[in-house]
């Protein structure tokens, strides 16, 4: 089988590097184009990331020698089958629609189009049916092959699937979540070491609003070519930057319309269907939600890499004296919450015939 040709917009950044690294040896996708700012353009990829390559593995040999293209040079990328976008949001705003209009599907990590009315925001295990809106998106804009699909914010990954697993049967009412987010979530160089070492910063620009609103779109529905948000529950979020490298941890308290029992919750997490096994998506975790029985898990360092960094680990389920229940959730922010999550969306698109 000929591999599907993939471009990465923002290939030199923290998320872009994670895409380059994770896609090495992918059975369906091959990185053929790397794109970044005009200041990186014209250099080999290895040169462009010299001194700022942050992945544990070396730069894959097949990508090290690729010449970085400027995002403005759309013609150089036209023969890609699709692109991942890991551009800063203000840059994504200028370019993602131009790429889609030129016939190149875009799977984006940027927040730019998360609330565009006909752009699906996908968590493959939770709302794969939202891909149905792509045809309407293309029709409304006169695009024949291109489209835009986005991945939600990294901070919500550790609790949306566990809550979605309960919403259908028990109807969520209120959620209070406090996140402890790793420094890689701020890109490179990110937060200055002087600001974050020996410290917790109780502010991440825009993150609390994203955490409170994005789950409503993900759990929402499609009507007349636009998303209708699920307004039946409310989330209150506190987002903190903490001095860990990777892995966003969240402590979550919640109340449902019908109070589930402990057994109800654990059974639904255990049986949470995830992406259908028969699709054989290479990046799908074997089990999407893993419950740890130990009283002191999940822990960032011990659990963030579970199942290639794609599983959500939960633990410490206990009754809450104010709300009904509380638990701790953890996910890897640059894998599940960024590049790995984007790759899983692309695999789902390919399995459904949208790309390839």
The footprint of ligand NAP (CB under 6 A) covers 10-16, 36-37, 39-40, 71, 86-89, 91, 109-111, 154, 184-185, 187-188, 333-334, 337-338
Question: Residue 181: in which H helix or E strand, if any?
Answer: strand 172-181
Q: Closest separation between CB of residue 305 and ligand NAP, Å?
A: 15
Q: Which is nearer to ligand NAP, 138 or 181 (CB)?
A: 181
Catalytic residues, by residue number, are: 154, 248
Question: Is residue 124 within 8 Å of residue 344, measured between CB atoms?
Answer: yes
Dihedral (CA of 223, 225, 226, 230) sign = positive
Q: Closest separation between CB of residue 109 and ligand NAP, Å?
A: 4
Q: Closest separation between CB of residue 35 and ligand NAP, Å?
A: 7
Q: What is the b/e burial string over 270-279, where b = at least 16 CB atoms within 10 angstroms of the residue's CB?
A: eebebbeeee
Question: Is residue 132 within 8 Å of residue 108, measured between CB atoms?
Answer: no
Distance CA 6, CA 63 (A): 11
Q: Which is nearer to ligand NAP, 125 or 292 (CB)?
A: 125
Q: Which is nearer to ligand NAP, 50 or 139 (CB)?
A: 50
Q: Closest separation between CB of residue 77 and ligand NAP, Å?
A: 12
- The residue at minimum Cβ distance from ligand NAP is 13
Which strands sit side by side in the sheet containing 82-85, from one edge to the other? 68-70, 29-36, 4-9, 82-85, 106-108, 148-150
Tokens 């009315």, residue? Answer: 117
Q: Which is nearer to ligand NAP, 10 or 146 (CB)?
A: 10
For residue 273, give the DSSP letter. -
Q: Which is nearer to ligand NAP, 88 or 136 (CB)?
A: 88
Question: Is residue 204 within 8 Å of residue 242, measured between CB atoms?
Answer: no
Q: Closest separation between CB of residue 29 and ligand NAP, Å?
A: 19
Q: Which residues pair with 319 in a beta bridge?
A: 325
The beta strands (E) that lie in 10-117 are given as 29-36, 68-70, 82-85, 106-108
């Amino acid at each position: 089988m000929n591999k599907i040709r993939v471009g990465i917009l923002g290939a030199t950044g923290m998320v872009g590097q994670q895409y380059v690294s994770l896609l090495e040896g992918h059975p369906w996708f091959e990185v053929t184009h790397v794109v970044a700012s005009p200041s990186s353009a014209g250099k080999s990829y290895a040169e462009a990331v010299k001194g700022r390559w942050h992945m544990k593995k070396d730069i894959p040999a097949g990508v090290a020698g690729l010449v970085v293209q400027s995002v403005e040079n759309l013609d150089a990328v036209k023969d890609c089958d699709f692109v991942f976008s890991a551009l800063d949001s203000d840059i994504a705003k200028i370019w993602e629609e131009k790429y889609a209009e030129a016939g190149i599907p875009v799977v984006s990590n940027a927040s730019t189009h998360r609330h565009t009315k006909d752009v699906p925001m996908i968590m493959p295990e939770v709302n794969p049916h939202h891909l149905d809106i792509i045809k309407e998106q293309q029709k409304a804009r006169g695009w024949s092959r291109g489209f835009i699909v986005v991945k939600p914010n990294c901070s919500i990954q550790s609790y949306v699937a566990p809550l979605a697993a309960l919403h259908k049967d028990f109807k969520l009412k209120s959620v209070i979540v406090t996140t402890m987010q790793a420094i890689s979530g701020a890109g490179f160089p990110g937060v200055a070491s002087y600001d974050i070492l020996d410290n917790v910063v109780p502010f991440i620009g825009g993150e609390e609003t994203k955490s409170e609103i994005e789950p409503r779109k993900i759990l929402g529905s499609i009507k007349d070519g636009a998303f209708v948000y699920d307004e039946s529950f409310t989330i209150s979020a506190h987002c903190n930057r903490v001095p860990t490298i990777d892995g966003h941890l969240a402590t979550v308290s919640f109340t449902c319309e019908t109070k589930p029992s402990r057994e109800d919750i654990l059974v639904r997490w255990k049986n949470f269907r995830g992406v259908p096994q028969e699709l054989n998506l290479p990046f799908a975790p074997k089990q999407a939600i893993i419950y740890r029985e130990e009283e002191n898990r999940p822990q960032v360092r011990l659990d963030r890499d579970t199942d290639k960094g794609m599983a959500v680990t939960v633990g410490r389920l206990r009754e809450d004296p104010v709300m009904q229940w509380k638990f701790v959730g953890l996910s890897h922010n640059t894998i599940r919450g960024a590049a790995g999550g984007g790759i899983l969306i692309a695999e789902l698109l390919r399995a459904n015939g949208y790309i390839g």
